[in-house]
């Protein structure tokens, strides 16, 4: 006797033949819909006829059973696509998932490093070498202004105003922001422009050229950061955004207003910046546990 196809098979066929999704994506949808279908059958219900209340019961059951929010969110995505397909094919007159909210996923804390580690990293470049002086100025500016590496390597000579101590940055969405550099970054940028940059480039507007006098790629400078991290003896895992996250974390730790940090980072939404308040709370919690007699 031939095995009957699951009720969601036409939907999977649609994803393959019409939307041409990858086999891996389709398999993921299939696993989630099978789990939902198995639960429905256990309740004496049909998958294609589940209503909002039944789906809400399923979500409650998953929560009580200890399923991760990320797993439930993925299942909800599959269910929304499936019932949207049934609605489109006029096999249902409503979408039972419409009133349901996806589980809120905890945002991972950004990786940062301590102020002492930052100091060690900033001290690593060889200042007797034009490339080392360039890297020193880049690292100081990266940390002082909270830039993305792509923003840093894309700077031109006219983006920095040494007299006012400001750098003009073109961020995501071609949005421009003006960020103060601070005295240390200003000093080392001045030293680099006087003694380092003329050895690397004669003509052109690139602020931080490569060894060949061209605009550096973000991958090249990321490689340079890792090399300096090794020289500094850092055991922390560095990421392309390490100094940007350190910039924001250290500002918040020292009491900076969150909206000021938002403006400096160029975040369009304050909620993106608010992750750093959680970083600060985690730091205070660890400090309490380590030093309080009843921690």
Distance CA 125, CA 139 (A): 9
Q: Which residues are catalytic?
A: 148, 172, 241, 244, 267, 276
Q: Which one, of 263, 262, 279, lies nearest residue 271 by Cα?
A: 262
Q: Which one, of 60, 63, 66, 100, lies nearest residue 80 by Cα?
A: 100
CA angle 287, 291, 295 (to 5 degrees): 85
CB 131 within 8 A of CB 211: yes
Distance CA 120, CA 138 (A): 15
Per-residue CA distances from 239 to 70, 210, 218, 221, 280 (Å): 24, 21, 12, 12, 19
Burial class (CB in 10 A: 0-12, 13-18, 19+), 106: exposed
């Amino acid at each position: 006797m031939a095995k009957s196809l699951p009720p969601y098979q036409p939907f999977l066929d649609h994803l393959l033949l019409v939307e041409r999704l990858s086999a891996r994506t389709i398999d993921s949808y299939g696993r989630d819909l099978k789990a939902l279908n198995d639960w429905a059958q256990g309740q004496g219900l049909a998958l294609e006829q589940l209503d909002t209340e039944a789906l809400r019961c399923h979500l409650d059951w998953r929560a009580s059973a200890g399923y991760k929010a990320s797993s439930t969110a993925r299942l909800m995505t599959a269910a929304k696509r499936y019932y949207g397909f049934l609605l489109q094919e006029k096999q249902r007159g409503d979408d039972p998932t419409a009133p349901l909210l996806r589980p809120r996923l905890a945002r991972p804390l950004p990786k940062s490093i301590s102020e002492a580690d930052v100091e060690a990293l900033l001290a690593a470049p060889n200042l007797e070498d034009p490339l080392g002086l360039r890297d020193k100025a880049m690292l100081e500016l990266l940390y002082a202004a909270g830039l993305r590496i792509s923003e840093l390597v894309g700077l031109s000579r006219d983006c920095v105003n040494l007299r006012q101590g400001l750098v003009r940055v073109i961020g995501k969405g071609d949005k421009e922001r003006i960020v103060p550099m601070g005295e240390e970054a200003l000093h080392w940028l001045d030293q680099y422009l006087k003694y380092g940059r003329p050895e690397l480039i004669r003509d052109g507007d690139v602020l931080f050229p490569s060894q060949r006098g061209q605009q550096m790629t973000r991958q090249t400078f990321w490689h340079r950061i890792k090399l300096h991290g090794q020289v500094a003896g850092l055991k922390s895992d560095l990421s392309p955004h390490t100094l940007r996250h350190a910039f924001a974390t250290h500002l918040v730790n020292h009491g900076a207003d969150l909206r000021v940090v938002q403006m400096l980072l160029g975040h369009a939404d304050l909620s993106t910046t608010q992750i750093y308040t959680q970083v600060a709370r985690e730091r205070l919690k660890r400090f309490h546990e380590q030093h309080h007699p009843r921690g």
